[in-house]
Amino acid sequence: MKNLLLKGAAVALACAALFGCGSSHDKNTESSCATAGDKCVKFTILHTNDNHGRFWVDKDGQGGMAARKAVVDKVREEVKDKGGTVLLLSGGDINTGVPESDLQDAIPDFVGMNLVGYDAMVLGNHEFDNPKSVLDKQADTADFPFLSANIYQKDPDDNTKLERVFTPYKIFTVGSLKIAVIGLTTTDTKTIGNPQFVGDYTFTNPVDETKKVIDEIGDKANVFMAVTHMGYFKNAQHGSNAPGDVTLARGLTDKYANKLAAIIGGHSQNLTCTNDYTPGGACTPDRQNNTYIFQAGDWGKYVGRADFEYYNNTLHMVSYSLIPVNLKVDDKVVGDPVTPDLNTQEILRTYQIKGQDELSDPIAKTTVALQGDRSVVRGQQTNLGKFIAAAQVATQNNRANFGVMNSGGVRASIAAGDVTTRDVRTVQPFENEVYKVTMTGADLKKYLGTVATIQAGSGGYAQFYGIKMTINCTGRSVDNVQVKDVDDNDYSAIADATKYVFTIPSFSASGGDSYPKLTGSDSAFPNAELDSAQGIVDWVALSDFFKSEAAKNNGTVDLAPYAPVASDLVYENSSSNNGCVIP
């Protein structure tokens, strides 16, 4: 794209950032959209990301598709009155997070997105939480394309070649302007996605793929943008995650420099404001290598809005803002309250009430909260992580020594008080199965040397129940390993020749979250015995465990045995006492 000038800053501000070799000295150059007249094309990008099943309002009345519809319609009307056009894009992860949605394969969410009027979405990693048949059903339901240029699989006619699986991009015609929107999915999907559903896919480098698509499109588009599910990591500090949007923007150099006007992102579930942002206030989006980066938090709590004008073969961003959707701070709605669109609300209400009675029935009580917050459970042992691992051990009827649970599979906390089926399904929405693994002590030490040293902060960080050990983070090894006996009475040191039994989710057993693969002919531990045919679903196991533990204590679960004990897991050569963080 030649002579692309992107003007942008906080709300109602403008700055001049040169995209390519401008033609500002041309005697026919217009100085503004107003002076360019009909030659100026106005358009607005609206965007959301990481919906995670939130088609309905949350318990505080925030978000929801019906209110989102009202926000989008209001902007559309305003933009249309000024002679502009709106494109509505999603940064992916529509699936997984709310039982009412999960039970219905997120169909309510896609119905809602149709009603709101989305133009395209990128495939997020959670679009692969289910079999391909579910994704196909969702695609059939949606009135908009699922985009991703960097997901490939082997050509069925030639296994030496790879071919794209999904639509790589879409070109939108806005007046005289052609806007190409490229879809890109995090390469982490290969490890954090369910291996049973992503095993046949290859996720290629997003920077390379963007260059390839730009070359493929050529002069068929005036403006290039990307809708991504890769994450926003400030200053490209992505840690244990795959590189995200900042790395993408910085990686487009040489002839690709200044080609990508904007990245509409998702995955990290944060905002890209570089100023001291307060909800409802001004947001100055990050800009890297003359590419603006947008992300609107998560769960439909915001709709991002970027207004553009295109004239003199140059693109100007006039303003950017984040529109709160009945967002509450200190129990007060930020900005003007949004009245939900009644038609959308009534259509989605049918989905919301489905299964309400079953989901709302209490199954147990607790006197303390169970900690499953992402920022906590991925970096330290928690009572909920241990409780889930114990629940899976309990499925083996005193025939397992300990349990391992990847923290990425723990999706929420549970407040003190009544525990419902909804709580359980929210915590464990993926419907993984519980696998039983039998392994010699010698193999077990090697296995734990990998699992226990996975970087804290990632979804692979392991929650343990029924085990004690010293963990050498740099050596990727364990020592002084003790496990509970099968009667759950006492700990004893493991012996190399003795066989031990532990439980693990099918996701991790299949190699998810960088765990050693225990399934198939390419198992990393071919002598291990894997029982994957029990058909025990994780959330059912957790529900049953809540009930059985509550029955021991007049309906209230005693959580004291599941409180983390720091001396059980000792981390050496780490900057953290709670997990492996290599200094």
Same domain assignment for residues 348 and 394: no
- The pair of three-digit structure tokens given for residue 443, joined into one six-digit string: 């193999």
Which of 330, 353, 376 corresponds to the end of one domain? 353
- State phi, psi for 507 to the nearest 5 degrees: -55, -50
Element holding 426 (H helix, E strand): helix 421-427
Is 252 among the domain residues?
A: yes
> CA-CA distance, 283 to 10, in Å (whole number)?
5
Residue 329 pairs with which residues in a beta bridge? 332
Domain-ending residue, one of 301, 321, 353: 353
Q: 429, 97 in Cβ contact below 8 A?
A: yes
Sheet with 491-493: list strands edge to edge: 491-493, 477-484, 467-472, 569-572
Dist. CA 470–CA 570, nearest whole Å: 5
Please indicate, yes or no, if residue 180 is contained in any of the structural domains: yes
The pair phi, psi for residue 345, each rounded to 5°, is -65, -40
Type of residue at 166 = F
Instruction: For residues 313 and 547, give the distance between their C-alpha atoms in angstroms, rounded to a whole number.
Output: 66
pLDDT given for residue 29 in this prediction? 64
Q: Reduced to 3 states, what is the DSSP secondary structure of residue 115?
A: helix
Whether 225 and 180 have beta carbons less than 8 Å apart is answered as yes
In a domain, 554, yes or no: yes
Q: Which positions ≥6 away from 334 have C-beta within 8 Å?
A: 279, 280, 324, 327, 328
Residue 580 within any structural domain of the chain: no
342 & 370 share domain: no
H or E segment to which residue 574 belongs: none
We report the CATH number of the domain holding residue 202 as 3.60.21.10
Residue 405 sits in the same domain as residue 465: yes
Whether 35 maps to a domain, the answer reads: no
Give the chain's count of helices (H) and strands (E): 17, 30
Please count the other Cβ atoms lying within 10 Å of the Cβ belonging to residue 333. Answer: 17
Sheet holding 169-174, edge to edge: 169-174, 177-185, 223-229, 260-264, 291-294, 286-288
Residue 27, Cβ density class (10 Å: 0-12 exposed, 13-18 middle, ≥19 buried): exposed
Counting the structural domains of the chain, the total is 2
Cβ(310)–Cβ(177) under 8 Å? Answer: yes
Among 289, 320, 353, give the residue marking a domain's end.
Answer: 353
Task: Tell me the β-bridge partners of 580.
Answer: 455
Rg (CA), the chain: 25
Residues 319 and 382 in one domain: no
CA 308 to chain centre: 28
Q: What is the pLDDT along the chain (583 residues), one digit of tens a residue?
A: 434 444 333 333 333 333 433 333 334 567 799 999 889 999 999 999 999 999 999 989 999 999 999 999 999 999 999 999 999 999 999 998 888 898 899 999 999 999 999 999 999 999 998 899 999 999 999 999 999 999 999 988 888 899 999 999 999 999 999 999 999 999 999 988 888 899 899 999 999 999 999 999 999 999 999 999 999 999 999 887 899 999 999 999 999 999 999 999 999 999 999 999 999 999 999 999 999 999 999 999 999 999 999 999 999 999 999 999 999 999 999 999 999 999 999 999 999 988 677 788 899 999 999 999 999 999 999 999 999 999 999 999 878 999 999 999 999 999 999 999 999 999 999 889 999 999 999 999 999 999 999 999 999 999 999 999 999 999 999 999 999 987 767 999 999 999 999 999 999 999 999 999 998 888 999 999 998 878 888 998 999 999 999 999 999 999 999 999 999 999 999 999 999 998 7
Token output for 70: 């009202």
Any domain includes 399: yes
- Closest by CA to 403, choosing from 471, 463, 472, is 463
Establish if 23 belongs to a structural domain. Answer: no
Site of tokens 């959330």: 539
CB-CB contact of 439 with 500 (8 Å) = yes
CA distance 278 to 514: 37
The CATH number that applies at residue 425 is: 3.90.780.10
Measured distance CA(291)–CA(271) in Å, rounded: 16
Are 348 and 368 within one domain? no
396 and 347 part of one domain: no
Q: What is residue 9's predicted lDDT score, i.e. its pLDDT?
A: 37
Give yes or no: residues 381 and 402 share one domain.
yes
Tell me if residue 523 falls in helix, strand or coil. Answer: coil
Phi-psi region of 117 (alpha: psi -120 to 50; beta: other; left: phi over 0): left
Name the residues annotated as catalytic.
50, 52, 93, 125-126, 129, 229, 267, 269, 374, 378, 411
Whether 559 and 541 share a structural domain: yes
Answer for the pair 8, 17: CB distance below 8 angstroms, yes or no. yes
- Tell me, yes or no, whether 267 and 216 share the same domain: yes
Contact by Cβ (8 Å): 308, 302: no
Domain range for residue 426?
361-572
Residues 302, 98, 371, 124: is their CA dihedral positive or negative?
A: negative
Q: What are the residues whose beta carbons fall under 8 Å from the beta carbon of 411, sequence distance 6 or more?
A: 96, 97, 372, 374, 426, 427, 428, 429
Question: Quick one: 378 and 331 in the same domain?
Answer: no
* 403 in the same domain as 544: yes
Q: CA dist 28 to 23, 382, 411, Å?
A: 10, 66, 57
* CA distances for 188 relative to 151, 231, 331, 409, 523, angstroms: 12, 11, 36, 15, 21
The verdict on 476 and 563 lying in the same domain is: yes
Domain assignment present for residue 69? The answer is yes
Task: Give me the sheet containing 146-147, strands edge to edge.
Answer: 146-147, 120-122, 85-90, 41-48, 302-311, 314-324
Instruction: Decide if 424 contacts 546 (C-beta within 8 A).
Output: yes
For residues 40 and 309, what is the distance between their CA atoms, to the nearest angstrom? Answer: 7
Give the helix, strand, coil percentages of the chain, each rounded to 5.
Answer: 30, 30, 45
